[in-house]
Amino acid sequence: MTDIDRWLETNTYHHGQFWDLKRLIETKESKGLTVSLCIPTLNEEKTIGKEIVILKSELVDRYPLLDEIAVIDSGSTDRTLEVARSFGADTYLSAEILPEWGTRRGKGENLWKAIYQLRGDIIVYVDADIKNIHPRFVYGLVAPLVYRPEVHYVKAFYDRPLADTTGIRPSGGGRVTEILVRPLFSLFFPELTALIQPLSGEYAVRREVLERIPFPIGYGVETSHLIDVYFEWGLEAFAQTDLDRRVHRHQPTRDLGKMAFGILHTFLTRLRARGILPGLPELTPILRQFQFHDGKYEQVIHELHEEERPPMVEVPQYREKRGLPPQEG
């Protein structure tokens, strides 16, 4: 049996294994753990209300697994924050957290600032566009961290049917994973191919891990997490939970191209930093795409900078807030 086979047997779960929420909460409380839910948002007024209602009623009011539910917003122009606040979530503008550090547009920015803003020993991240939201999206990820102290980072995986105008299609999703990320992991980090959906937007992580890794502000954040945690703590630090099904928006191919560009940029940067590809030249931020319009092909040029935020534990304001001594140097 290979290390991957062994890991798949011991560190892969189904959310149904954690149905006993009373036991989960008793164990959490006996260990003195606190859990924060972060929902990063940008113009999600159509789905954010349902998510908060379901998760708050089941995992705060009925079963007190969550100690806080927070929305970290990138500057929505719709009613996302108003709706989220009306249903009982704490709401924050990313730009107003750590204002001394300025603000950047990107999901990774929100995830990074959540480490500063939220209180929990465990932070669980859940995307805001899940049409079939259910409490399993939280307890299925938190439970391995509560029960197993050696586990630090839990990823979700699921069937990913795509919602379109004709209803639910029986298969699809995970296209960037299968076309880009899985081949790259197979070539450079074979053990990470044990993760069924490395780009899933739902995961739970211990604070002491999150605060020690850098955060790309854009599409590369999940990929960088896996590589950095793997090098620091090894495959045994990970677990993954089957959440059955996630229904989400369909993304056009052009948008997936931008995502793949950002992920590849981050991946190659990691290879260079770790001495795997030391001679790698400076990477361009320019992605060139084409569209057919008025009988001809037109260029569409995107400038995608994969800037990174430093590990939060290196931020003086965070160290002061957490009662840590100033960092030397």
pLDDT in tens, 246-256: 886 667 888 89
- Long-range residue pairs from 230-237, CB within 8 A, at least 24 positions apart, any chain: 230/189, 230/191, 230/192, 231/274, 233/152, 233/153, 233/209, 235/3, 235/4, 235/7, 235/191, 235/192, 235/194, 236/7, 236/11, 236/150, 236/151, 237/150, 237/151, 237/152, 237/153, 237/209
Q: Are 41 and 128 in contact (CB under 8 A)?
A: yes
85, pLDDT greater than 70: yes
Angstrom distance (rounded) from CA 178 to CA 260: 11
CB atoms within 10 A of CB 42: 18
64 vs 172: which has the higher pLDDT: 64
Encoded amino acid at 155, one letter: K
Question: What predicted TM-score, i.e. pTM, was given to this entire model?
Answer: 0.92
pLDDT digits (tens, 9 = 90+) for 147-185: 999 999 999 999 855 444 455 444 434 889 999 999 999
Distance of CA 1 to the CA centre of its chain: 31
Angstrom distance (rounded) from CA 58 to CA 51: 11
Tokens representing 119 are 């209180």
CB atoms within 10 A of CB 140: 28
According to the model, what pLDDT value does residue 327 have? Answer: 86
List phi, psi (to 5°) of 171: -155, 170
pLDDT digits (tens, 9 = 90+) for 51-60: 999 999 999 9
pLDDT mean over 188-202 = 95
Q: Are 115 and 123 in contact (CB under 8 A)?
A: yes
Tracing tokens 């948008």 back to the chain, one arrives at 255
Tokens representing 318 are 């965070």
* Residue ranges of E strands in 17-175: 35-41, 68-73, 90-93, 122-125, 153-159, 162-164, 167-168
Q: Kindly report the CATH class assigned to 3-321.
A: alpha beta
pLDDT digits (tens, 9 = 90+) for 270-320: 999 999 999 899 999 999 999 888 888 999 999 888 899 999 999 999 999
Q: Are 110 and 94 in contact (CB under 8 A)?
A: yes
